[in-house]
Amino acid sequence: MTDILTYSQIATFMSCRRKCRFRYFDQIVPESQYSQAMYFGKIIHKALETWNKARDLTATLGVVDHEYSKYQPERFDHTEYTLAQAMIRGYIEKYKDDDRACYLIEREFRVPIINPATGRRSQKWEFAGKIDGLIETEDGTLILEHKTSSDSKRVYLERLWTDMQTILYAMAVRRQFDIRVQGVLYDVLHKTRAKTKLAERYRNPDMFQRETVMFDRDTFESFKKLLWNITQEFNHCKRRNRWLPNPTACYSLYGMKCGYYPICRSNESPLVIENNYVHKEPHEELKIVTQRKNTEEVKPQR
């Protein structure tokens, strides 16, 4: 039985191997991770999924209403709800005449990881994920990647060329669906820190940007090697149960403390874990993973 690697798991591993162990092998997450703010991007993604499929404003705004209706009254943040509504309305107003067909919307994949030196597939790992969609343009087939960002427009767009996720996803799309992807269309929705006049702010088309980044053959070849090397490093950590911490990742560039900082600081105190963390299976957001897992669990023994 093969294990799963996702982009989030790989990014966590590259940032801090001990954090990766906590999340994907010990399967614990901070209770604070369930705050409203963590779900804002997911709600926007769900709304955009509906828009890409139906092109219906009422249905798209209905997704936002439905998602926020799940909150208990004392946790409901009206400003955040208003922000989500204004962002979606402004986005649709800007791109309502874009009639390019989007397909494979929110489509999941699970593909083997190949050793680039031998062409053989890994017996231990597969790569899985979900694309926002594909879109046909004059530049060819592109991955459509929705992003919400609080960073400045200039800083965010300058970082796009370093995005490992979309390159790995393009490789996976080729293997899973036999579609050659030439690049990615980043669809960026900027999140304002303002609390008032949100509808007015999102009538400004500059709150939304699209940027195309094209791939080349050398990029794909280098990332095939990178992905394979990452599986070998995972194997090394698992065999020796040696998940070294990265002290430089305890705080982000914005001063945010790692959610697992209390565990490391307490030398993995069971009491700290019990009082501040909850169990959560990895990759629960991917049906293609959980369905296969359930099938494997009920597979009769011979």
Question: Is the pLDDT at 302 greater than 50, yes or no?
Answer: no
24: CB partners within 8 A, 6+ apart = 9, 12, 282
Tokens linked to 166: 């979309």
155: CB partners within 8 A, 6+ apart = none
Q: Which pLDDT score is estimated for 159?
A: 62
**Torsions phi, psi for 5 (to 5 deg):** -115, 135
Minimum mean pLDDT range among 126-135, 159-168, 211-220: 159-168
Q: Which pLDDT score is estimated for 157?
A: 60
Q: Average pLDDT, stretch 117-146?
A: 94
Q: Which burial class, exposed, middle or buried, applies to 54 when counting CB atoms under 10 A from its CB (0-12, 13-18, 19+)?
A: exposed
Q: Which pLDDT score is estimated for 178?
A: 96
Q: Average pLDDT, stretch 33-57?
A: 83
CA pair distance 49, 133, nearest whole angstrom: 9
Pairwise pLDDT comparison (66 vs 298), residue with the higher score: 66
- Determine the Cα angle at 268 with ends 32 and 8, to 5°: 50
Q: Which pLDDT score is estimated for 70?
A: 84
163: CB partners within 8 A, 6+ apart = 145, 184, 213
Tokens linked to 185: 């269309």
Give residue-wise pLDDT tens across range 211-227. Answer: 898 998 898 999 999 99
Q: 289: pLDDT confidence band, cut at 50, 70 and 90?
A: confident
Q: Which pLDDT score is estimated for 296?
A: 55
Q: Which pLDDT score is estimated for 162?
A: 61
CA pair distance 205, 271, nearest whole angstrom: 50
Percent of the chain past pLDDT 70, that is, above it, reads: 88
Contact (Cβ atoms closer than 8 angstroms) between residue 85 and residue 64: yes
Helices 217-240 and 164-177: angle between axes, nearest 10 degrees:
100
Contact (Cβ atoms closer than 8 angstroms) between residue 53 and residue 32: no
Pairwise pLDDT comparison (132 vs 38), residue with the higher score: 132
> Nearest-CA neighbor of 15 among 250, 210, 180, 292?
250
Q: Average pLDDT, stretch 83-103?
A: 94
Q: Which pLDDT score is estimated for 9?
A: 96
Contact (Cβ atoms closer than 8 angstroms) between residue 105 and residue 132: yes
Question: Is the pLDDT at 148 greater than 80, yes or no?
Answer: yes
Give residue-wise pLDDT tens across range 167-187. Answer: 999 999 999 999 999 999 999
Q: 161: pLDDT confidence band, cut at 50, 70 and 90?
A: low
Question: Is the pLDDT at 15 greater than 60, yes or no?
Answer: yes
pTM of structure? 0.87
Question: Is the pLDDT at 71 greater than 90, yes or no?
Answer: no
